[in-house]
């Protein structure tokens, strides 16, 4: 169905259905209107038949009188014979044999006969020729010299009269109308609905083609909407109105040219609707108008003009701007005074001069002061806190404002210094603590080592010294890591990123750890990318990250398994991943693993302090990367993701 409607044939069919539905709706509506006018809904069939019959007969009688009295012609009424009687009962004229049969006793058969009475007035000129004949209502007689007379007409319907005579036909028409008088509304509704549906369908299919999503506007689409309507609808409407005016005097027949003229107008409207439907669908109804285009050009021009003017004004120094404005306004004032001052020009001129002498110096001074304040504000905004505004020569509010600015810069620089001092103190504290911890530790390590070296008979001393050495070494690593953690997490760690190749990180780590992995019974499987994958990272910090990760692998991976180190390119960057199978069940969540002092082995039997992953995570994040741990059963995966450095990127 849809496929058919999208073809040209389908569209034509819809178009024709719409046209015929609308025409039929109009026809039936007119019929319904006529039926209302004729009283189909207020009178019974018999009443109507009688009324129409009486009206027809009266019309016939009137015709006969008019023709006979006005033009001395015997009017022939098809199917009828007639007699015309004067006021005095004298037979004036007749038509047909049957009319006389009553008197003559002729056997010519007559179906029915009627006698009709008329009041007739005649208006004759001086020579007695008739100017007009009027049949009138006895309650409202016209005033003619001739006065009024009563005439009567006897009409005989001949038995042999043809059946298609209007007089014979109208009862059948009335009967048919009676049968149809309610159905006609149903028909109106039916065709109206058909029309609406096919119209909507037509609007939907216009611009569409089979199997294609986009719209295909017709050649009319290029014409702006308003121009199209102006060029087609306006002349067509005017033409139609002039047509109506032409036929406005022709009574009931007026309806025929009105209807016929409406058909082409309707066809035009329908075609325009299709074009506008496409415009609505492509959302170009408003944009594709001449008015819109003109307005847009105008607005653009105005905007450009405004931008230009404001650019010139903004780039003129404040003092120059002020001076220029003063000169311009003064000149304008002077011009006005000279031209329109009249007899008072000299007085006005002296006032003008006095005002300028009084006002110009303060205005210029204010401009200079403003300029100075502006410069100070700019300096403050760009972070220069040392410059002070020179308050000499500034007056009133300008001086107060300048002093405020100076006070503001003082406050800010104090706070900045305070902040820098506290930052420095924090860094110094960390460094000093580490130094102060390390100095005694150095002695502890050295001397426990010396004890161990000392030849001794007591094996217990050797054992104790060994314990001392081992634990002091552990303490050393813990202190180093603690310092690192506090620096990394407080942001007190310098990071100097350089372009690095992510592939190289993996192969170098694998190379550095080749021996230790082998000792732990692990095989490294390194999958790198054929082309360099550049990222921004600090090599030293990255080594610390990989060092921690790889030493974890050596410590916690199940011996005899493989360690996978590979690169995955994502839309936004690159992820370096290290995957291994844990020896112990990992019953900790990834979040817990990166927490400080949490270790994969709950027994804490292996050597390590639980800071490794926390440091790695902090360091990666300091370098602008993301560090993620995931645990899937015994599979432990660490991924380091960094944004890709594109060839054109600067640091």
Partner 1 sequence: MVNILICDDEKDIVNALKIYLSDAEYHMIEASNGKEAVEKVRQEEVHLAILDIMMPVMDGIEATAKIREFSNIPIILLTAKSEDSDIVLGLNVGADDYITKPFNPVEVSARVKSQLRRYFILRGGTASEETLSVGGIELSDRAKTVTIDGEPVNLTPTEFEILKLMMKNPGKVFSPREIYQEVWKEPALGSENTVAVHIRHLREKTEIDPANPRYIKVMFGRGYYI
Return residues touching partner 1 (CB under 8 A): 430-431, 434-435, 438-439, 441-443, 445-447, 449-450, 476, 480, 483-484, 487, 498, 500-505, 507-512, 514-515, 524, 526-528, 530, 532, 537, 539-540, 542-543, 546
Calpha distance 105→89 (Å, rounded): 20
Closest to partner 1 by CB, 316 or 431: 431
Q: How far is CA 253 from CA 247, 250, 258, 500, 599, in A?
A: 8, 6, 9, 95, 105
Closest to partner 1 by CB, 77 or 542: 542
Cβ of residue 597: shortest distance to partner 1, in angstroms? 20
Cβ of residue 619: shortest distance to partner 1, in angstroms? 12
Closest to partner 1 by CB, 509 or 580: 509
Cβ of residue 576: shortest distance to partner 1, in angstroms? 10
Neighbours of 404 (CB within 10 A): 12
Q: Which two tokens stand for residue 89?
A: 């009962």
Calpha distance 153→158 (Å, rounded): 16
Taking the alpha carbons of 543, 548, 552, 555 in that order, is the dihedral positive or negative?
Answer: positive
Q: What per-residue string of b and e applies to 127-140 under the rule 16 or more CB within 10 Å gives b? A: eeeeeebeeeeeee
Closest to partner 1 by CB, 390 or 527: 527
Q: Looking at residue 67, what DSSP letter applies?
A: I
Closest to partner 1 by CB, 156 or 642: 642
Cβ of residue 643: shortest distance to partner 1, in angstroms? 15
122 class by beta-carbon count within 10 Å (0-12 exposed, 13-18 middle, 19+ buried): middle
Q: What's the CA angle centered on 115, arms 111 and 118, to 5 degrees?
A: 150
Q: How many helices (H) and strands (E) does the chain have?
A: 18, 12
Q: How far is CA 131 from CA 118, 122, 323, 453, 545, in A?
A: 19, 8, 97, 161, 126
Cβ of residue 535: shortest distance to partner 1, in angstroms? 8
Helix axis angle for 255-281 and 225-246, nearest 10°, is: 170
Closest to partner 1 by CB, 296 or 435: 435
Task: Tell me the Cα Rg of the chain.
Answer: 56
Calpha distance 518→456 (Å, rounded): 37
Neighbours of 23 (CB within 10 A): 16
Cβ of residue 510: shortest distance to partner 1, in angstroms? 5
Closest to partner 1 by CB, 293 or 476: 476
Alpha helices in 163-254 (DSSP H): 166-180, 183-205, 225-246
Cβ of residue 626: shortest distance to partner 1, in angstroms? 17
Cβ of residue 594: shortest distance to partner 1, in angstroms? 22
Residues 6+ positions from 29 with CB-CB distance below 8 Å: 188
Instruction: With beta carbons less than 8 A apart as the criterion, state whether 110 and 155 touch.
Output: no
Cβ of residue 363: shortest distance to partner 1, in angstroms? 58
Closest to partner 1 by CB, 28 or 642: 642
Cβ of residue 551: shortest distance to partner 1, in angstroms? 12
Instruction: With beta carbons less than 8 A apart as the criterion, state whether 553 and 580 touch.
Output: yes
State the first-to-last Cα distance of the chain, in angstroms, to the nearest integer.
Answer: 62
Calpha distance 121→130 (Å, rounded): 11
Calpha distance 587→270 (Å, rounded): 75
Cβ of residue 451: shortest distance to partner 1, in angstroms? 11
Closest to partner 1 by CB, 203 or 430: 430
Closest to partner 1 by CB, 289 or 509: 509
Closest to partner 1 by CB, 49 or 486: 486
Residues 6+ positions from 243 with CB-CB distance below 8 Å: 257, 258, 261
Closest to partner 1 by CB, 214 or 515: 515
Closest to partner 1 by CB, 154 or 503: 503
Alpha helices in 1-136 (DSSP H): 2-6, 8-38, 45-65, 98-104
Closest to partner 1 by CB, 503 or 552: 503
Q: How many residues does the chain have?
A: 651
Residues 6+ positions from 512 with CB-CB distance below 8 Å: 550
Cβ of residue 553: shortest distance to partner 1, in angstroms? 15
Q: How far is CA 488 from CA 193, 481, 585, in A?
A: 77, 10, 30
Cβ of residue 366: shortest distance to partner 1, in angstroms? 53
Place of tokens 């305070």: 418
Calpha distance 456→327 (Å, rounded): 105
Cβ of residue 466: shortest distance to partner 1, in angstroms? 15
């Amino acid at each position: 169905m849809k496929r058919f409607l999208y073809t040209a044939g389908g569209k034509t069919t819809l178009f024709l259905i719409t046209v015929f539905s609308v025409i039929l709706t109009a026809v039936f509506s007119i019929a319904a209107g006529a039926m209302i006018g004729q009283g189909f809904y207020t009178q019974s069939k018999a009443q109507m038949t009688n009324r129409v019959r009486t009206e027809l007969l009266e019309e016939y009688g009137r015709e006969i009188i008019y023709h006979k009295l006005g033009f001395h012609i015997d009017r022939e009424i098809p199917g009828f014979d007639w007699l015309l009687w004067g006021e005095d009962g004298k037979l004036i004229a007749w038509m047909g044999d049957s009319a006389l049969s009553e008197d003559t006793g002729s056997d010519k058969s007559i179906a029915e006969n009627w006698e009709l009475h008329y009041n007739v007035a005649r208006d004759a000129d001086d020579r007695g020729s008739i100017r007009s004949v009027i049949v009138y209502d006895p309650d409202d007689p016209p005033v003619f010299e001739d006065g009024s007379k009563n005439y009567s007409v006897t009409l005989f319907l001949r038995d042999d009269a043809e059946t298609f005579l209007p007089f014979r036909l109208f009862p059948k028409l009335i009967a048919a109308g009676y049968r149809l008088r309610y159905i006609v509304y149903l028909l109106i509704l039916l065709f109206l609905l058909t029309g609406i549906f096919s119209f909507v369908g037509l609007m939907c299919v216009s611009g569409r083609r089979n199997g294609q999503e986009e719209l295909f506007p017709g050649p009319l689409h290029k014409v702006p909407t308003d121009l199209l309507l102006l060029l087609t609808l306006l002349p067509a409407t005017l033409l139609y109105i002039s047509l109506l005016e032409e036929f406005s005097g022709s009574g009931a027949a007026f309806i025929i040219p009105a209807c016929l003229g409406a058909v082409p107008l309707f066809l035009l409207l329908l075609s325009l609707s299709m074009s506008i439907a496409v415009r609505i669908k492509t959302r170009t109804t408003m944009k594709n108008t001449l008015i819109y285009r003109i307005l847009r050009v105008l607005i653009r021009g105005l905007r450009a003009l405004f931008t230009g003017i404001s650019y010139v004004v903004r780039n003129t120094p404040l003092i120059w701007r002020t001076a220029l404005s003063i000169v311009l306004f003064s000149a304008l004032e002077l011009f006005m005074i000279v031209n329109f001052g009249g007899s008072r020009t000299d007085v006005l001129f002296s006032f003008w001069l006095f005002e300028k002498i009084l006002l110009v110096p303060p205005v210029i001074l204010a401009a200079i002061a403003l300029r100075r304040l502006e410069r100070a504000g700019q300096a403050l905004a760009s972070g220069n806190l040392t410059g002070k505004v020179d308050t000499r020569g500034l007056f009133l509010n300008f001086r107060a404002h300048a002093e405020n600015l100076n006070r503001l810069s003082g406050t800010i620089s104090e706070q900045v210094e305070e902040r820098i001092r506290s930052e420095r103190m924090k860094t110094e504290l960390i460094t000093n603590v580490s130094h102060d911890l390390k100095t005694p530790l150095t002695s502890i390590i050295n001397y426990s080592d010396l004890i161990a070296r000392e030849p001794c008979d007591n094996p217990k001393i050797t054992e104790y010294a060994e314990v001392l050495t081992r634990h002091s070494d552990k303490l050393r690593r813990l202190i180093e890591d603690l310092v690192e953690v506090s620096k990394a997490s407080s942001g007190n760690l310098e990071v100097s990123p350089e372009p690095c190749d992510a592939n190289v990180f993996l192969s170098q780590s694998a190379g550095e750890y080749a021996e230790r992995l082998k000792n732990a019974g692990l095989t490294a499987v390194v999958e790198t990318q054929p082309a360099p994958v550049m990222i921004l990272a600090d090599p030293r910090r990255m080594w610390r990250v990989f060092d921690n990760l790889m030493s974890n692998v050596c410590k916690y991976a199940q011996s005899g398994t493989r360690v996978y180190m590979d690169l995955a390119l994502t839309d936004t960057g690159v992820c370096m991943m290290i995957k291994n199978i844990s020896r112990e069940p990992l019953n900790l969540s990834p979040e817990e693993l990166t927490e400080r002092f949490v270790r994969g082995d709950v027994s804490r039997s292996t050597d390590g302090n639980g800071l490794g992953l926390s440091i790695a995570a902090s360091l990666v994040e300091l370098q602008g990367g993301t560090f993620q741990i995931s645990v899937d059963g015994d599979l432990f995966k660490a991924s380091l993701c960094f944004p890709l450095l594109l060839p054109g990127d600067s640091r």
